[in-house]
Amino acid sequence: MPLPYTELVMEHFRHPRNVGRIEDPDAKSIEGSPACGDMVAVYLSVDPETQRITDVKFESYGCASNIATGSIITELAKGKTLEEAKKISWKQAADELGGLPAVKAHCSVLAVDGLRAAIQNYEEKHGLVKERTPTTIEVLKKRLKRVMNPMAGLDLVRTNLVKDIELNQGAVKVVLDLPADHQFAANIREEIVEKIEPLWDIDSVKVEFTE
């Protein structure tokens, strides 16, 4: 039986706004949903003077609800300051769409988490993080869950590619169960560094391969 989607959800799903990527974005994120395993990427351009979002784009690897929510929240976020955009909630997004079926709440949560993670990425890169909680192995693991294993289309942690994570006074070492000359090794290394280095108390990130 088809899900009872509103006209508005269907309209945003068929003609999503702001789909795609920004070349050379000021911030970006990739978030995965623990509920369904789908992923969303969000890209931001930000005016450094006013901290206003001048452009925002998203790519969804999720379902119709996720695409429709990505479409509506990027519309809502455009032109807002980072502080204002942070307050956009999944509930607000779902309301703007005329409601979503209850089983699809996690899909709009995923889109909103993607936007929030991109804002966080901007704040980390620009030293704007206010809550400076110390990085732990758990935090690092969470970041690694945002790095895709291109061979599986799922994240590194879920596909058991991460063999070891070490954290020692701001120095991080990640060991991957992958040969160093693997075709995706350089890409994965780059993405790991990109996700972990912006953390306020991290000075260096080293990625090692097992073979």
Give me the catalytic one of 107, 147, 161, 174: 107
Q: Which residue among 8, 36, 139, 165 contacts ligand FES (CB under 6 A)?
A: 36
Identify the CA nearest to 108 among candidates 87, 121, 89: 89
Is 107 labeled as catalytic in the residue annotation? yes
- Total of residues contacting ligand FES (CB under 6 A): 9
Task: Give 63 or 175: the residue with its C-beta nearer to ligand FES.
Answer: 63
110 sits near ligand FES (criterion: CB under 6 A): yes
210/136 Cα distance (integer angstroms):
23
56/79 Cα distance (integer angstroms):
9
Is 36 labeled as catalytic in the residue annotation? yes
Binding positions for ligand FES, 50-69, rule CB under 6 A:
62-63, 65-66
The least CB distance from residue 163 to ligand FES, in Å, is: 28
Give me the catalytic one of 8, 19, 36, 185: 36
Per DSSP, 135 falls in state: P
E strand spans, the chain = 27-32, 39-47, 52-60, 148-149, 154-155, 162-168, 171-176, 204-209
149 sits near ligand FES (criterion: CB under 6 A): no
Cβ-Cβ contacts under 8 Å for 84 (sequence gap 6 or more):
none
By CB under 6 A, which span of 30-38, 166-174, 179-187, 202-210 interacts with ligand FES? 30-38
38 sits near ligand FES (criterion: CB under 6 A): yes
Beta-ladder partners of 60:
40
Identify the CA nearest to 71 among candidates 112, 122, 23: 112
Residue owning tokens 């990027």: 74
Task: Give 31 or 96: the residue with its C-beta nearer to ligand FES.
Answer: 31
Task: Give 86 or 106: the residue with its C-beta nearer to ligand FES.
Answer: 106
Interface with ligand FES (CB under 6 A): 33, 36, 38, 62-63, 65-66, 107, 110
Query: Which residues are known to be catalytic?
Result: 36, 107
